[in-house]
Amino acid sequence: MKYIAVLLATLALLAPRAWADDYSLLEWDDLIPLEEQLNPPPFPEVDHEDEFAIPAQPIGKVVPTLNGRKVRLPGFVVPLEGDSKQITTFLLVPYFGACIHVPPPPTNQIVHVEYPTGAQVDDLWDAVWVTGTLRTVGASHEMGDAAYSLEGTSVEPYNL
């Protein structure tokens, strides 16, 4: 009995440290504030008569409580910087082809990822898991504006 008490006390002391580095699993809807989910802004209309008219990217608000959280988020890579072997900066988007087709997703559905180690992404149509610290600081790029940025600690193939 004394052995069990010592074991439980030790686990109680170690548990907070072991769980402190855990990452929260996020879904894309978690990046949209509740009021915006309940009352979404109008989606820009595409002018089919003018082939050069590009609708504006919808601006989405951020969820302030996500700032500084360690998260894990699945998505697709839109490469911004790197070479044919390693991508160091990219946009993470919720579906394949986002930012390539217009209009791009709302800003709160794009995450600007800095991953200095370099991620090897063999096929851009394959989903990935990105882990890191999320910030409610936006970034702008010709491919689309992002309402969030993420300091990546790992990029892995998406497997359930």
Cα(35)–Cα(130) distance, rounded to whole angstroms?
Answer: 26
- pLDDT of 70-122, one tens digit each? 999 999 999 999 887 899 999 999 998 777 666 788 999 999 999 999 988 77
Contact 70, 24 (CB under 8 A): yes
34: left (phi over 0), alpha (psi -120 to 50) or beta: alpha
Q: Which two tokens stand for residue 20?
A: 């402190």
Q: How far is CA 96 from CA 4, 20, 127, 142, in A?
A: 51, 33, 8, 18
DSSP 49-109: S-TT--PPPPP----GGGTT-EEEEEEEEEEEEE-SS-EEEEEEESSTTBTTBSSPPPGGG
Kindly report the CATH number that applies to the domain delimited by 65-159.
Answer: 2.40.50.870
- pLDDT of 10-62, one tens digit each? 434 443 333 346 899 999 999 999 999 998 877 666 666 776 666 777 888 99
